Structure 1
Amino acid sequence: MKLYNLKDHNEQVSFAQAIKQGLGKKQGLFFPLELPEFELTEIDHLLELDFVTRSARILSTFIGDEIPEETLLKRVKAAFEFPAPVVKVEDDISTLELFHGPTLAFKDFGGRFMAQMLTEVSGDEPVTILTATSGDTGAAVAHAFYGLKNVRVVILYPRGKISPLQEKLFCTLGGNIHTVAIDGDFDACQALVKQSFDDEELKRELSLNSANSINISRLLAQICYYFEAVAQLPQHDRNQLVVSVPSGNFGDLTAGLLAKSLGLPIKRFIAATNANDTVPRYLAQGQWLPSATVATLSNAMDVSQPNNWPRVEELFRRKIWQLKELGFGAVSDETTKETMHELAAKGYISEPHAAIAYRLLRDQLKEGEFGLFLGTAHPAKFKESVEEILGQPLVLPNELAVRANLPLLSHNMGADFAGLRSFLLGLPK
């Protein structure tokens, strides 16, 4: 598999190199040189397979012969050990629940697949994973890499801007997992990660890698659950399928669009954001004007400069699709709360991110269409806000209950690159 750098098309790398490198020159994202496409009969056959077998086939179409099919199947089986069920909410709307993994969020799929791939291609070479999180990435990456030989993980997150239970899930592990609470927002954390990757000495000394959705292995893994969703739908619902994706860094939407590019029958997508609405404003007005990031109930989407957007635009350009065909919208906290009440009245308990995706789907779904919205995190990960909004107690799943009372092991730091640099160079070997 060859990938090229979106900021320098002359830089082309293998899949293994892209996983290990994370970003290209000028902080450019890697993107597949070839965009494979299945025939309709192949899609039908794929949808009849089990989740793991199908996923290995999809991934091997991108990866090619770099990783033997048998090895890839074994790695996918180790990564995808949990289901992604489609649950009916209304007659014409269902949700794809992506929170049945060890950290109760969709990022378990990408994080665990990346850990498997990095272990496969790195061998005994030491690696330092440096990543920023607005909530769920940190937990998924921490748990995916926890205890792995020759891997150190450093996770930056905005202090006081993720839910307490999200924090407990990845800041209580210790060992090879180092967590740093930054005085700033997610974009400040992401900027520090990018500065680190621009520092040649740091990159060389630490063998830096990133596990954000900017890493191509995470993105490819996320394609697989869109196929799993369609496989669970009856034929008549597949034909007019509209998918609403809660969007922060836009990796999930990029993966869905790549699934469509492969030939998966998805009529259209809706990019659902909160008040951090850079993309909806861009799609409506044609100008890219990021505002300062604001804190919302749906904190994992508090991103005003989404890193994956260049991949979305590149895919639309390559496929000769029109951006005007992409649905979009931004939902306020007030409407998010109202929507959570609406869903609860229908018998479905949701957290804020999925509620935003549902709201825009419900508003934009046309007669004869079938809607699917992504449930990206378990409601209990936002226990405090969900209980306050709905006025009813949530039972903590075991994955959270066992960590709820453990002490935080995080370091606190200003949004200062010099301080982070010293911290990274001072980590135990």
Structure 2
Amino acid sequence: MRLYNLKDHTEVVNFGQAVRQGLGREQGLFFPGTIPAFSASEIDELLKLDFVSRSAKLLSAFIGSEIASEDVLRCVRNAFQFPAPVKAVEDDIGTLELFHGPTLAFKDFGGRFMAQALVQVAANDRITILTATSGDTGAAVAHAFYHLPNIRVVILYPKGKISPLQEKLFCTLGDNIHTIAIEGDFDDCQSLVKKAFDDELLKKTIGLNSANSINISRLLAQICYYFEAFAQLNEAQRRELVISVPSGNFGDLTAGLLAKAMGLPIKRFIAATNSNDTVPRYLDSGLWQPHTTVATISNAMDVSQPNNWPRIEEIFKRENWPLTSLAHGAVSDEVTKQTVLALNQKGYLSEPHGAIAYRVLRDQLQSGEYGLFLGTAHPAKFREVVEGILGHDITLPKELAERADMTLLSHNMKSDFTVLRDFLMTLQW
């Protein structure tokens, strides 16, 4: 597999290099030189397979001979040990539940595959994973890499701006997992990560890598559950399928668009955001004008400068799709609360991120179409918000209940790269 740097097309790497490096020169994202395309009959055959077998074939189509197909299958089997079921919500709308993994969020798929892939390509080198999170990435990455030899993880998150249970899920592990509460927002955390990758001495000294959706292994793994969703639908639902994706850093939507480029016949996608609506405004006006990030009840989407957007533009350019064909919408906190309540009254317990995706989908779905919205996190991860909306308690799953009373092990730090650099350089193995 060959990938090129979107900011410097002369930098070309293989899959193993891209996984280990994370980012290219000038903080450029790596993008596949070739997107494998499947015919309609090949898609039909893939859809007959089980989730793990199909996913291994999809990923091997990208990776090629660089990793033997049986090794890819083993990585997928170790990573995808939980389902991604489609549940009916209304006659013409369902949800793809991606929160049945160990940290109750969609990022378990990408995080766990990345961990398996990195072990496969890293040999015995020591690697430091540095990543920023607005909530769910941190937990997924922490649990995926917990106790793995020769790998340590440093996770930055905005202090006081993720839910308490999200924080408990990954800031109570210890061992090779180090967590830092940054005084700022997610974009500040992301900026610190980018500065670290620009520091060549730091990168070389500590073996720096990233597990954000900027890492190609995480992104490719997310393609697989779009095929899994499609496999669970009947013929009529497949014919006019519209998928609404709650979007923050836009990795999930990127993966869905790659699935479409591979031949999965999805009619259209909807990019659903909260009040941090840089992309919807851009699609309407043609002007890229990020505002200061605002805190919302859908905190995992509190991102004003989404890192994966260049990949989305590259897909549209490569596939000759008009960017105007990407449907979009933004939802306020007040409407989000109303939607969580409305969904509960329909018999479906959701949380703010999924509710946003549902709201925009419901507003834009046309007669004869079937809609899917992504349920990216378990409602209990946002217990305080959801209980406040519904007016009653919700049950905590065991993954959260067993950590709810544990002591946080996080460091506190100003948004200062010099301080972070000193911390990373002196961190002991």
The answer on 1:239 being equivalent to 2:253 is no
Q: 3-state SS of the aligned residue for 1:328?
A: strand
Shift of 1:78: 0.2
Shift of 1:36: 1.2
CA deviation map 1:125-145 (0-9, x unaligned): 100000000000000000000
Q: Residue in 1 aligned with 2:47?
A: 47
- The equivalences for 1:168-179 within 5 A come to 168-179=168-179
Q: For 1:318 and 1:262, how far apart are their aligned partners in 2?
A: 12
Q: Residue in 2 aligned with 1:75?
A: 75
The answer on 1:124 being equivalent to 2:124 is yes
Aligned residues: 429
Q: Residue in 1 aligned with 2:103?
A: 103
Shift of 1:426: 1.1
Q: For 1:357 and 1:258, how far apart are their aligned partners in 2?
A: 19
CA deviation map 1:187-229 (0-9, x unaligned): 0000000000000111000000000000000000000000000
Shift of 1:169: 0.1
Q: For 1:184 and 1:271, how far apart are their aligned partners in 2?
A: 26
Aligned-partner residue type, residue 418 of structure 1: T
Q: For 2:263 and 2:352, how far apart are their aligned partners in 1?
A: 31
CA deviation map 1:281-329 (0-9, x unaligned): 0000000000000000000000000000000000000000011111000
Q: Residue in 1 aligned with 2:224?
A: 224
Q: For 1:91 and 1:329, how far apart are their aligned partners in 2?
A: 22
- The equivalences for 1:89-100 within 5 A come to 89-100=89-100
Shift of 1:265: 1.0
Q: For 1:36 and 1:97, how far apart are their aligned partners in 2?
A: 26
- The equivalences for 1:189-204 within 5 A come to 189-204=189-204
CA deviation map 1:335-360 (0-9, x unaligned): 00000111001000100000000000
Q: For 1:35 and 1:169, how far apart are their aligned partners in 2?
A: 35
Shift of 1:256: 0.1
Q: For 1:395 and 1:118, how far apart are their aligned partners in 2?
A: 35
Q: Residue in 1 aligned with 2:36?
A: 36
CA deviation map 1:246-277 (0-9, x unaligned): 00000000000000000001000000000000
- The equivalences for 1:364-379 within 5 A come to 364-379=364-379
Q: TM-score, normalised by structure 1?
A: 1.00
Q: Residue in 2 aligned with 1:278?
A: 278
Q: 3-state SS of the aligned residue for 2:153?
A: strand
Q: Residue in 2 aligned with 1:380?
A: 380
Aligned-partner residue type, residue 149 of structure 2: K
Q: For 1:41 and 1:408, how far apart are their aligned partners in 2?
A: 52
Q: 3-state SS of the aligned residue for 1:13?
A: strand
**Identical amino acids, percent of aligned pairs:** 72
Aligned-partner residue type, residue 124 of structure 1: N
Aligned-partner residue type, residue 206 of structure 1: I
Q: For 1:52 and 1:97, how far apart are their aligned partners in 2?
A: 17
Q: For 2:405 and 2:25, how far apart are their aligned partners in 1?
A: 43
Q: For 2:24 and 2:173, how far apart are their aligned partners in 1?
A: 31
Q: For 2:399 and 2:37, how far apart are their aligned partners in 1?
A: 38
CA deviation map 1:58-102 (0-9, x unaligned): 000100000000111011000000000000000000000000000
Q: 3-state SS of the aligned residue for 1:96?
A: strand
Shift of 1:56: 0.3
- The equivalences for 1:14-413 within 5 A come to 14-413=14-413
Shift of 1:239: 0.5
Aligned-partner residue type, residue 216 of structure 1: I
CA deviation map 1:133-172 (0-9, x unaligned): 0000000000000000000000000000000000000000
Q: For 1:74 and 1:214, how far apart are their aligned partners in 2?
A: 23
Aligned-partner residue type, residue 353 of structure 2: H
Q: For 1:106 and 1:236, how far apart are their aligned partners in 2?
A: 26
Q: For 2:426 and 2:402, how far apart are their aligned partners in 1?
A: 31
Shift of 1:385: 0.6
Q: Residue in 1 aligned with 2:418?
A: 418
Aligned-partner residue type, residue 410 of structure 1: S
Q: For 1:82 and 1:35, how far apart are their aligned partners in 2?
A: 27
Shift of 1:392: 1.6
Q: 3-state SS of the aligned residue for 1:337?
A: helix
Q: Residue in 2 aligned with 1:3?
A: 3
Q: For 2:197 and 2:74, how far apart are their aligned partners in 1?
A: 31
Aligned-partner residue type, residue 197 of structure 1: F
Q: For 1:377 and 1:426, how far apart are their aligned partners in 2?
A: 35
Q: 3-state SS of the aligned residue for 1:400?
A: helix
